[in-house]
A and B are shown apart, each in its own frame.
Chain A
Amino acid sequence: MYSNGYIFRYASIIVILAAAFLSAASVLLKPFQERNIEIDNMQGILSAVKIPGVTALNAIPQFNKYIVEEQVIDPKTGDVLNDYTKSPKEDAPAFKIDLKAELYNKAHNKPYKLPIYIAEVNDQKIYVIPMYGQGLWGPIWGNVALNSDFKTVVGVYFDDEEETPGLGGEIKSAHFKDQFVGKTIFDNHGNFTSIKVVKGGIGKLAPDDRIHGVDALSGATLTSNGVNDMFENVLKSYLPYIKKHS
């Protein structure tokens, strides 16, 4: 029979070996993974602008082609702190901003800054605002592309870490994202409305408000609420900038 001491020693050694092995693997693979995440970000931004045919392989040249300007803004005043128009676009300070950390600072009333990307498609400027929020099980994030009037949505992109496939994970599906196209985030009087994700469908809204809403996903109320809150929370921070530039 094995003594308790042996069992403890055995378990400890196995766990420490496994931990050391995994730490080494994590450190070695990190640069590759970070590069992939950057490329994924580019794909997300281009997807919101509705550039067709972007894959992981051509994301960098496409990003450099369509994105003309990347700005870091001060959400309090709406001032542009850094305006980057050089190449390569992926070296821009705006692109290096960790949105999660900045929104954490915001929630804790500390100074923070936000990125905005300006794409040019068919001589039209399109403003891409990255978003970050909470789904049901973990973080959700995405981008919303606005027309140069800062009012109409050109396209959106969502991604999540661990929403339930088939339920909350459906925020990534085309049928959910396509609903946002053509919706507006301001009403006719210039008041900020955000985009409401409405449980039970936008039929529940007053006819005039339907242009500011989309149908929530059935079976995924909490993820839908997360998307709703993400829009409102993030877009609010861009209001001073939008006022100054529209």
Chain B
Amino acid sequence: MSTKNQEREPIFSAANLKLLTGPLNLNNPITVQVLGICSALAVTAKMKPAFVMALSVTVVTGFSNLVISWLRNGIPPRIRIIVQLVVVAALVILVDQLLKAFVFDVSKQLSVFVGLIITNCIIMGRLEAFAMANKPWPSFLDGIGNGLGYGMILLIVAFFRELFGSGTLFGFQIVPESLYHMGYQNNGMMILPPMALITIGTIIWVQRTFKRSLIEK
């Protein structure tokens, strides 16, 4: 590829934009690739931790993709997984330290799950499948796109779980007091992890109803 060719490609070309938007829909890491389910079940009882988790994962996928793509020509293939892990682990520890410094209460709620971002299959998956073979900018977009795709599902699940489980959104009371006086009760089941699985299952069902191409033969 000539340098002239590289210069001509705009920062947000159609191909690059697709990297960003694909994971939000037809290539969603959770609902289509079914990766990163574990943390999606664990941190979605409330919107706030889900939002912070989504943000953390997006930052880690974006920057680990960027760094690995930047290093990709020098990484010896025999130790590439180790190098990827070092980069991901360093970023996750940094995110954890930042959360502890600036949003301590959320950091306490997320507890071990921030550390477990290291083992989130989406991150290693994107590094192996994309960043090792593509230039830094598209890799960064791919990472951000996948983080957003993950975060979007997290927030949708958390929306339903917090609304029906606690009657709040981001901690603010949504279900009016008068409804409780009329006998309405929060559904305690929504707080428990199994309901996250059922909610994700429902999202996958709805998505496949509209996009028949996603259904396996």
Q: Does B189 contact A (CB under 8 A)?
A: no
Complex-state Cα separation, A159 to B83, whole angstroms: 35
Q: Does chain B have a CB within 8 A of A107?
A: no
Residue contact A2 to B76, C-beta cutoff 8 Å: yes
Which one, B86-94, B118-126, B130-138, B157-165, is touching chain A?
A: B86-94
A25 and B42 contact, Cβ closer than 8 Å, known pairs A18-B90, A162-B111: no
Q: Are B112 and A22 in contact (CB under 8 A)?
A: no
Interface SS majority for chain A = helix
Contact of B86 among A2, A15, A169 (CB under 8 A): A15
Partner of A25, one of B76, B94, B193: B94
Chain B: interface residue total (CB-CB under 8 A): 26
Query: How far, in angstroms, from A166 to B113 measured CA to CA in the complex?
Result: 13
- CB B128 to nearest CB in A, in angstroms, measures 17
The residue of chain B having its C-beta at the shortest distance from the C-beta of A31 within the complex is B101
- For the complex, is B25 an interface residue (Cβ under 8 Å from A)? no
Contact partners of B93 in chain A: CB under 8 A: 22, 25
Q: Are B82 and A11 in contact (CB under 8 A)?
A: yes
Q: Return the contact of B97 from the options A2, A25, A40 (Cβ within 8 A).
A: A25
Distance of B146 from chain A, by nearest CB (Å): 23
Chain A residues whose C-beta falls within 8 Å of the C-beta of B94 in the assembled complex: 21-22, 25
Choose from B42, B78, B101, B102 the contact partner of A165 (Cβ within 8 Å).
B42
Q: In the bound complex, how far is the Cα of B98 from the Cα of A32, in angstroms?
A: 9
Are B76 and A36 closer than 8 Å at their CB atoms? no
CB contact between B104 and one of A22, A36, A166 (< 8 Å): that residue: A36
A14 within 8 A of B: yes
Question: Considering only CB atoms, which chain B residue lies closest to A3 in the complex?
Answer: B76
Q: Nearest-CB distance from A219 to chain B (Å)?
A: 14
CA distance A7 to B75 in the complex (A): 8
A36-B83 in contact given A165-B111, A165-B112 (Cβ < 8 Å): no
Residues of A within 8 A of B83 (CB): 10-11, 14
Q: Check B74–A18 contact: CB distance below 8 A.
A: no
B101 contacts across to A, CB distance below 8 A = 29, 32-33, 36
Q: Are A11 and B102 in contact (CB under 8 A)?
A: no
With A56-B104, A165-B112 in contact, is A10–B98 under 8 Å at CB? Answer: no
Q: How far is the CA of A162 from the CA of B102 in the complex (A)?
A: 20
User: Which residues on B sit within 8 Å (CB–CB) of A15?
Assistant: 86
With A18-B90, A56-B104, A165-B42 as known contacts, state yes or no: A29 contacts B97, CB within 8 Å.
yes
Closest to B83 in A: A14
Asked whether A166 lies within 8 Å of B193 as measured between CB atoms, the reply is yes
Q: Is A26 in the interface zone, CB < 8 Å from B?
A: yes
Residues in B with CB closer than 8 Å to A21 are 90, 94
Interchain residue pairs with CB less than 8 A apart (6): A10-B75, A33-B97, A36-B104, A37-B104, A165-B42, A169-B111
Write the residues of chain B forming the contact surface with A, with a CB cutoff of 8 angstroms: 42, 74-79, 82-83, 86-87, 89-90, 93-94, 97-98, 100-102, 104-105, 108, 111-112, 193
- Shortest Cβ-Cβ A-B pairs, 6 listed: A32-B101, A36-B104, A2-B76, A18-B90, A29-B101, A7-B76
Q: 6 more A-B contacts (CB under 8 A) besides A22-B97, A25-B98? A: A10-B75, A10-B83, A33-B100, A33-B104, A165-B111, A166-B193
